[in-house]
Chain A
């Protein structure tokens, strides 16, 4: 009887065992020593990652389960999901292999850069899990940038890289603005709240539209009287537009706050990716 057995880890391939005595010896050997023989071929994993053979990559990692320490497998899975952008699974395996993952500076930096622009909830989970002192200056810089995005008013912009300072200053300015102040300004002078939010064009459009509505309402009241249906219709239109402009200004400030934050983080990600970006493997 010829029996072919392939052990993947060490690359030694086919054993042909003919005699019953050797077969027994081989099986006993496999039973006790095979788990120890399973080693991850990292250069092969790197190759699979570089060529983007996701199917083979996943199969290889899955095949190593049970053969290699669980920590190593979880670490490889975390890197796999980081490469193929599955944030929740990445975090799941990252927490299972945290110490090992943090010790891989390339992957750790890549993950930090990656999460700068990810979904807010997962982003929070990630940055809360990052140890305060990692020993990596790159990670510390990225974390400072993330902290600046969370607490802009408490952060001094000069600690950020020069390339990001103008974006941060814009973001910081927008964060100090209050939606209710925009609403109050728009109530006083139609469209002024939009100017306060930083939307000049919108201010001009709103102001002149409101002015036109006002003049046509005034004309109809003057010539037809306030109780005339057309005057009531004109005044109603004016009122609706006036209220909409107040609400729009309130919403604009909130929108601008979000937009400047997103823009700041996108630019930060681009900057760090360009300066600190290294291959995952």
Chain B
């Protein structure tokens, strides 16, 4: 009886050590300790891979996962299957953490070792290269379109990146000719009218001052304020033009995101 009580007390004291190994961070620490004590580079590399896999299993594509991926020398893997699996997972993690260069590096290495023509691989390639090399991204999209025409929408990302409104100069010139016209043409009629009113009042004020023989005042108000209002009106047109471009771009990006999420729902990219 006494023996069992002692065992029970001791077991209760030690359960923390026995069960806590299951916890994610404990597991990471355990692997890091093993890697630290390890004298062989290959074995150490295996432990790093195990740590990276742990992040993958727990679906945590974080910067810490990227740190582990960077520590791994995939040339030290004993079998090609592990190398291929790592390169794929590292590509996905890099893409999810917005690490553009590592993503392109891992993905190109993956394709070099294991030429993969699956929809999943092309889709990942097009997403990775969209921010890295638009020509390569387009080639991936073209290959996807050959497989299934519904993938044509993937190129929307490129359209969003390349989108810009045309004829900005025309809007600026129109504002220079008739103050407020550029702002009105940009869709902001109220700001355009206010601009026209302020500039007209400033011109009138200068005219009245000259009529009253207040030449210095006319020079001062004309030089300081009229110029400021006039240039301000042109600058306003420019900023309104940019704002409209940004709004349009955001709208396109939202639509593109919706289309892409639809594609990714149909053809999800999984860790391997």
Q: Which residues of A contact B (CB under 8 A)?
A: 3-8, 11, 23-24, 27-28, 30-31, 44, 47-48, 51-56, 58-60, 63, 212, 215-216, 219-220, 223-224, 230, 234
Contact = CB atoms under 8 A, between A and B. Distances in A.
A59 B10 CA distance: 23
25 contacts: A5-B17, A6-B17, A8-B33, A11-B37, A23-B7, A24-B3, A24-B7, A28-B10, A31-B10, A44-B36, A51-B71, A55-B28, A56-B29, A58-B25, A59-B29, A63-B26, A215-B216, A216-B214, A216-B216, A219-B214, A219-B215, A220-B214, A224-B212, A230-B214, A234-B217
A28 B6 contact: yes
Given A27-B11, A55-B28, A219-B217, A5 B3 contact: no
Given A31-B13, A220-B217, A223-B213, A6 B21 contact: yes
Given A55-B25, A212-B224, A230-B217, 5 more contacts: A11-B33, A24-B6, A56-B28, A212-B220, A216-B216
Q: How large is the interface on B (under 10, 10 to 19, 20 to 34, 35 or more residues)?
A: 20 to 34
A24 to B, nearest CB: 6
Contacts of B14: 5, 27, 30
B61 to A, nearest CB: 15
Would you list the 4 A-B pairs with minimal beta carbon distance, nearest first?
A27-B10, A59-B25, A59-B29, A56-B29
B11 A48 contact: no
B1 interface: no
Contacts of B213: 223
A47 B10 contact: no
Contacts of B25: 55-56, 58-59
A47 B36 contact: yes
B42 to A, nearest CB: 19
Interface in B115-157: none
A238 to B, nearest CB: 12
Contact of B7 (A7, A8, A27, A234): A27
Contacts of B170: none
A247 B265 CA distance: 62
A114 to B, nearest CB: 23
B3 A53 contact: no
B33 to A, nearest CB: 7
A60 B30 CA distance: 9
B29 A30 contact: no
Contacts of B217: 216, 219-220, 230, 234
B9 interface: yes
A53 B13 contact: no
Contacts of A30: 10, 13-14
